Homo-oligomer: A and B are copies of this chain.
Amino acid sequence: MRRDIFQAIADPTRRAIIALIALQAMTPNAIAQHFDTTRQAVSKHLRILTECELITQEQKGREIYYSLEIDKMKEIDKWLEQFRKIWENRFDNLDKLLAKIKEQKNEQ
């Protein structure tokens, strides 16, 4: 199934998982303890996050440690860029407006 990073972060539990393992790699069991669901449900979320390459896994004995692929998060940032341009531009316009008002004031 073709996964999308925006669909991945749509679920609040997955966002919480992302924030959780951003600090340090964790096992499914350890992650599941933070939520009110079964380990299997968490496992499903981890599968989805893995499919869109937001997280990676490392096997250690019978345990699997999941960690965040922080670079992938930049894709969201990249998408936001087009809008950041707009809201920053808005400030620019405001600055220009204020400068103009100031100028007119000085002319009085």
A83 / chain B contacts, CB cutoff of 8 Å: 22, 68, 70, 73
Interface size class of A (residues with CB under 8 A): 20 to 34
Q: Are A10 and B19 in contact (CB under 8 A)?
A: no
A74 at interface (Cβ–Cβ under 8 A)? Answer: yes
Other A-B pairs, 17, CB within 8 Å; known A22-B82, A68-B83, A77-B84: A4-B10, A4-B12, A6-B6, A6-B9, A6-B10, A6-B15, A7-B10, A10-B10, A15-B79, A19-B82, A22-B86, A73-B80, A74-B87, A76-B76, A76-B80, A77-B80, A80-B80
Instruction: Count identical subunits in the complex.
Output: 2
**Cα distance A7–B12 in the bound complex, in angstroms:** 9
Residues of chain B with a CB closer than 8 A to A90's CB: 70
A22: chain B residues within 8 A (beta carbon): 82-83, 86
